[in-house]
């Protein structure tokens, strides 16, 4: 029974294989009958780049927009580009293999026509091209997929480039990571996120650099004012951003102020030496040349003299501008000291002694006193009234259990000899069982300190801080120090309003002031003349109008009466027009005269 099914299966299998037209296996063959080698896509070469195997890349995952990391997309691009390079190499190798497997073209013999040979040659080339296309087609398809994925990854990464817009005053060369990329102003739309060192350089100006920490897709505007190179020595130069930083104590600010004052004295001494030695370094006037006329030599001498005066003026201006910057630095440091002294320190005195005096049942208040005079560092006495409801006061029965005291004082201790005391008390708060209580009153002076040396001066300063008479000015910052802005109550010029020393007027020609005076005073004279002429016209027309009026009065029945009346009205209108024109020209003459006069002041 078991052998029958096996016999039937074997018989059926034999019958199937006996039918050669029933099953056909189609192999890839060329026209000569040679087998075409078709590459396995899973065996296509890719660069591993750390992969554990030579497996194909998952292009869907690599081209997905699934991160905000610029570096991640860059690594993906490198991976895909490596595979593209490998695929292009395989295409070239495939073409070479196909060409090597193709039978060589037999040479033309003496019995073959040239046209027949050319046709045979073209047929071979067509067949070679078809074989090559068939052989590298899988690689080309994969290459197209890789190129498409690369484009998607590049688009994903492009959205993460940063934009940096740069403006400098004055125009300067721009360096990005020590590579010069252009001049300001400029805008760069494809800056790689991350840490980027940017630097600006210009002759006769101090270089400026910083490290930008750019986030993906960040847009940044950078405006920088470059500082002219100082005429003073680098030794003792101040780092203004650091020296005005609020990062130290009052004593630290005082030390910085001493450094600023020392630098100011150093600059004063150096400018004296620079001016004394100017005559030695300024190029001397060349002697009169034989072919030079006396007038040309005098002209050159005047130019040489005026240029020297101008350069001396520039040196003085730079010294004055630098001195003003140091003065503004001192003001800012003084402001920092006030800000530090105004800081409030809060503490809870554990040994404070509370005394409850008489209770006013109508107002529901206790007379109240709290003191901690035993404490050597922060002693105080506070006297006032304490609001407590009547029921609570009755239940307390003058017990001070559950009371908690908190005091706040300024960060400006009174220093006597080698000891300091926190006496600048500002506020006192009191609570009972975590419930704040209403309190009114004030701190009393401590008699034992009033006779100590320096207490009176210290007390005046403290009262100014507590009352707000002495307070910080938020305007005093780095922009103020370097002269980019002016603060209220400050008479020092900014770098924007201060003008450098201009070239003096010389006798060889008119300066801008001279030309301005000629133009303004000439215009004033012309306008004044026209105004006088208009005045005379107005008087003449008024007289004519009066004559016509007299005719009308003396002979009202005369047939010429309408003509006299018409003439009178015309003369009156012209008189009014002339008077108005006179006023306008008079105002114009006055404006030009004032403008000319101002050139003598400014």
Q: Considering the domain 162-225, what is its CATH architecture?
A: Sandwich (2.60)
How high does pLDDT run on average in the chain?
83
* Range with the largest mean pLDDT of 287-291, 335-339, 497-501: 335-339
Rounded Cα–Cα distance for residues 429 and 435 (Å): 11
Q: Is the pLDDT of residue 283 over 60?
A: yes
Which candidate, 457, 465, 481, places its Cα nearest to that of 340? 465
Both tokens of 498, joined, read: 């201060």
What ranges in 454-511 are assigned the alpha helix state H? 455-467, 478-481
Stretch among 17-31, 280-294, 463-477 having the lowest mean pLDDT? 17-31
Average pLDDT over residues 429-455: 90
Both tokens of 155, joined, read: 């688009």
Q: How confident is the model at residue 26 (pLDDT cuts 50, 70, 90)?
A: very low
How confident is the model over 176-207, as pLDDT tens digits? 888 998 998 999 988 899 898 999 999 888 88
Stretch among 55-64, 414-423, 500-509 having the lowest mean pLDDT? 500-509
For residue 168, the surrounding DSSP H or E stretch is strand 162-169
Q: Is the pLDDT of residue 75 over 80?
A: yes
C-alpha to C-alpha distances, 473 to 317, 331, 336, 470, 543, nearest whole angstrom? 28, 10, 9, 10, 70
**Phi, then psi, of 304 in degrees rounded to 5:** -60, -45
Evaluate if pTM is beyond 0.85: no
How confident is the model over 315-337, as pLDDT tens digits? 999 999 999 999 999 999 999 99
Q: With the C-alpha atoms ordered 441, 446, 451, 452, is the resulting torsion angle positive or negative?
A: negative
Contact in structure between 313 and 336 (CB atoms under 8 Å): no
Which candidate, 80, 81, 76, 123, places its Cα nearest to that of 102? 123
Rounded Cα–Cα distance for residues 54 and 42 (Å): 9
Q: How confident is the model at residue 377 (pLDDT cuts 50, 70, 90)?
A: confident
Q: Is the pLDDT of residue 11 over 90?
A: no
Contact in structure between 322 and 253 (CB atoms under 8 Å): no
Rounded Cα–Cα distance for residues 279 and 294 (Å): 25
The pLDDT value given to residue 363: 92
Q: With the C-alpha atoms ordered 117, 120, 126, 127, is the resulting torsion angle positive or negative?
A: negative
Rounded Cα–Cα distance for residues 66 and 285 (Å): 74
DSSP one-letter code for 236: T
* Range with the largest mean pLDDT of 26-40, 369-383, 513-527, 586-600: 369-383
Q: Which residues fall within 8 angstroms of residue 188, CB to CB, at 6 or more apart? A: 163, 164, 165, 166, 176, 181
Q: Which residues fall within 8 angstroms of residue 465, CB to CB, at 6 or more apart? A: 338, 341, 342, 410, 412, 424, 471
Q: How confident is the model at residue 496 (pLDDT cuts 50, 70, 90)?
A: low
The pLDDT value given to residue 259: 95
The residue count of the chain comes to: 602
Q: How confident is the model at residue 32 (pLDDT cuts 50, 70, 90)?
A: very low
The pLDDT value given to residue 501: 52
Q: Is the pLDDT of residue 65 over 70?
A: yes
């Amino acid at each position: 029974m078991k052998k029958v099914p096996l016999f039937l299966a074997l018989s059926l299998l034999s019958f199937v294989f006996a039918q050669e037209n029933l099953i056909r296996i189609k192999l890839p063959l060329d026209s000569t009958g040679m087998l075409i080698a078709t590459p396995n896509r899973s065996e296509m070469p890719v660069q591993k780049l750390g992969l554990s195997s030579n497996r194909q890349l998952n292009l869907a995952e690599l081209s997905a927009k699934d991160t905000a990391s610029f570096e991640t997309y860059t690594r993906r691009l490198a991976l895909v580009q490596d595979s593209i390079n490998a695929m292009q190499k395989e295409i070239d190798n495939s073409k070479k293999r196909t060409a090597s497997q193709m039978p060589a073209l037999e040479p033309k013999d003496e019995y073959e026509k040239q046209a027949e040979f050319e046709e045979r040659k073209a047929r071979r080339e067509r067949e070679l091209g078809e074989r090559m296309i068939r052989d590298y087609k899988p690689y080309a398809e994969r290459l197209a997929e890789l190129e498409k994925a690369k484009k998607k990854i590049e688009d994903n990464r492009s959205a993460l480039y940063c934009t940096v817009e740069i403006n400098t005053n004055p125009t300067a060369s721009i360096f990005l990571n020590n590579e010069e990329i252009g001049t300001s102003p400029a805008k760069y739309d494809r800056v790689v996120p991350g840490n980027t060192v940017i630097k600006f350089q210009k002759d006769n100006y101090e270089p400026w650099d910083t490290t930008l920490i750019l986030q993906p897709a960040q847009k940044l505007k950078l405006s920088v004012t470059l500082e002219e190179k100082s005429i003073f020595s680098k030794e003792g130069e101040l780092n203004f951003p650091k020296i005005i930083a609020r990062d130290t104590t009052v004593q630290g600010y005082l030390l910085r102020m001493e450094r600023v004052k020392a630098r100011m004295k150093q600059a004063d001494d150096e400018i004296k030496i620079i001016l004394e030695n100017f005559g030695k370094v300024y190029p001397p006037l060349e002697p009169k040349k034989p072919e030079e006329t006396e007038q040309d030599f005098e002209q050159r001498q005047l130019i040489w003299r005026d240029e020297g005066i101008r350069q001396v003026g520039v040196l003085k201006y730079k010294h004055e501008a630098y001195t003003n910057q140091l003065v503004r630095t001192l003001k800012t440091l003084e402001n920092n000291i006030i800000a530090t002294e105004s800081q409030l320190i809060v503490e809870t005195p554990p040994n404070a002694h509370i005394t409850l005096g008489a209770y006013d049942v109508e107002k529901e208040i206790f007379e109240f006193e709290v003191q901690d005079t035993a404490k050597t560092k922060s002693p105080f006495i506070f006297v006032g009234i304490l609001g407590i409801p009547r029921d609570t006061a009755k239940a307390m029965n003058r017990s001070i259990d559950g009371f908690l005291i908190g005091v706040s004082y300024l960060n400006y201790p009174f220093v006597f000899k080698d000891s300091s005391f926190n006496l600048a008390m500002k506020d006192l708060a009191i609570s009972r069982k975590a419930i704040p209580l209403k309190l009114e009153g004030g701190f009393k002076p401590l008699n034992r300190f009033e006779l100590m040396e320096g207490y009176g001066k210290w007390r005046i300063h403290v009262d100014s801080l507590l009352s707000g008479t002495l307070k910080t000015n938020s305007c005093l910052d780095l922009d103020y120090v370097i002269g980019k802005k002016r603060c209220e109550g400050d008479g020092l010029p900014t770098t924007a309003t201060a003008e450098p020393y201009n070239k003096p007027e010389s006798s060889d020609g008119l300066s801008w002031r001279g030309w301005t005076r000629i133009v303004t005073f000439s215009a004033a004279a012309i306008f004044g003349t026209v105004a006088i002429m208009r005045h005379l016209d107005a008087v003449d027309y008024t007289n004519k109008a009066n004559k016509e009026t007299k005719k009308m009065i003396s002979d009202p029945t005369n047939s010429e009466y309408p003509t006299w009346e018409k003439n009178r009205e015309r003369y009156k209108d012209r008189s009014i027009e002339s008077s108005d024109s006179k006023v306008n020209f008079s105002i114009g003459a006055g404006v030009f005269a004032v403008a000319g006069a101002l050139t003598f002041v400014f």
